[in-house]
Amino acid sequence: MKKIIGLAALLVLVGLYFFSGEEKEVQDLGLESKKDTQVVKKRDHSHDHGKTENKTVEKAVIKKPNQEKAIVPPFKPANKNEESLEKLSTTFAEVFENKKDSKSLRDTLRDLNLRPTVNVDSNPYTGTMNIVRTKDSLPGTRYVHAQFVADENGKETLQHLSFEYRPGPQALQRATLAIKSNFKIKGEPVHSKGDFISYKLDEHYIIWLKRMGKEDLKDDPFNAYTKNDDGTIRVAIELEIHGDETDTQVFPDDN
């Protein structure tokens, strides 16, 4: 009888050992499965000490839009004329950003094969002004004009820098896009009315674009126009010294 009881007890112990080992193996397999899913867990500590709770947290990845590109879209030239518009816009932006003097500007224009010239206008009352023009032009553009005022030490300050872009459908809109892109203008225009739009570049300078009408082109003292030039776009950087006035303060040269 004692042998039967002992044998039965032994069978019970073996059974318990077998099932507990199987349960542990199942639990281990479950842990390996959780590792493969790479679930992010956050341990929650409650005020009931000794108890912790694991919570699965799903982190949503929010992609922020590139605000700079949304505000200042890149300008992509669609033809030869717009390639010229891009080149001059880039050149003007470099002159302004790097505070280039008239010599550096002429070097840049020479690289574009525009054959720049310089005239010096000097008198004891207004000081010295170096005026840069070009003998050649890029397709669709013309009349590059720059004015630098020099002090008694010869140090120059940019007063005016402009060029003109040929008239055509959407010419003002495309020129504005090129300027905003290359000058990285993010703010709203200071003035925007009809055929005129202007932006503040910094505390001293503005840049403006204007679709020139017949009255604007009439009797110009230094540029030649015909009736076919109605709608020409003028782009200009100016030292802001005239308040809300928008007329250019350029001087004729003797070229």
Tens-digit pLDDT profile for residues 171-208:
999 999 999 999 999 889 999 998 999 999 999 999 99
Amino acid at 233: I
- CA 171/CA 173 separation, integer angstroms: 6
Pull the structure tokens for residue 193: 């009315």
Please report where in the chains the tokens 């002159």 appear, as a residue. 95
Please report where in the chains the tokens 């982190």 appear, as a residue. 59
Element (H, E) at 45: strand 41-45
Pull the structure tokens for residue 73: 């879209």
- CA 95/CA 251 separation, integer angstroms: 20
pLDDT above 70: residue 255: no
Which of these, 52, 246, 248, lies nearest to 146 by C-alpha position?
248
Which of these, 108, 80, 76, 75, lies nearest to 183 by C-alpha position?
75
Strands 41-45 and 156-165 come out as unpaired
Q: What is the pTM of this model?
A: 0.67
Amino acid at 211: R
For the chain, the 3-state helix, strand and coil shares in percent, each to the nearest 5, are 35, 25, 40
Q: What is the pLDDT of residue 242?
A: 52
Beta bridge partners of 121: 129
Pull the structure tokens for residue 33: 């499965």
Please report where in the chains the tokens 């867990």 appear, as a residue. 41
* Distance of alpha carbon 51 from the chain centroid: 54
- CA 61/CA 214 separation, integer angstroms: 56
Tens-digit pLDDT profile for residues 14-69:
454 444 444 444 344 343 444 444 444 445 544 444 444 555 545 454 544 444 44
